[in-house]
Amino acid sequence: MASSSQRTGYSFIGWSEKATASKADPKYKPGADYKVKSKNNLYAVWQRDSNEVKYAANKATSGKAPKSAKVLYGNSVKLKTAGTLKRKGYTFTGWSTNKKATKAGYKVDKSLKIMKPTTLYAVWKKK
């Protein structure tokens, strides 16, 4: 049985006779041959991908970056504070997906929709 086409943010896990199935039917294995005995419909079964959100200290002189988190494709994550991160002579202003950013694109406690694996870098402003 042929595997299905792609669906952004999801992984194909198999086939089912039920249109609303969340689990693939083991008798319809992707790539296996199947002899059709009667008219039936098969539906692709998809599982939403999980993406990692990582926090990077980005030149902090002490402390640890917040722990990374797994977020399902399309869900939002509330951005964490700097935690114990400190950088001598600088103030933490937020996060950016650009390691060299001078302005925070994302503020603490705001939500960010996650569509792919994401690394957020601490942004620092000189005191």
pLDDT tens sequence across 29-55: 888 887 777 777 889 999 999 999 999
Least confident of 5-9, 38-42, 82-86: 38-42
Q: What is the pLDDT of residue 93?
A: 97
Give the mean model confidence (pLDDT) for residues 83-93: 96
pLDDT at position 3:
53
Query: What are the φ and ψ backbone dihedral angles of 95, each rounded to 5 degrees?
Result: -125, 155
Q: Can you give the pTM of this predicted structure?
A: 0.81
- Cα gap 40→35, rounded to integer Å: 12
Nearest to 45 by CA among 86, 78, 13, 18: 13
Query: What share of the chain in percent tops pLDDT 90?
Result: 79
Q: For position 21, what pLDDT does the model report?
A: 95
Q: Which two tokens stand for residue 67?
A: 């722990």
**Alpha-carbon distance 122 to 124, whole Å?**
7
Domain residue spans of the chain: 1-48, 50-126
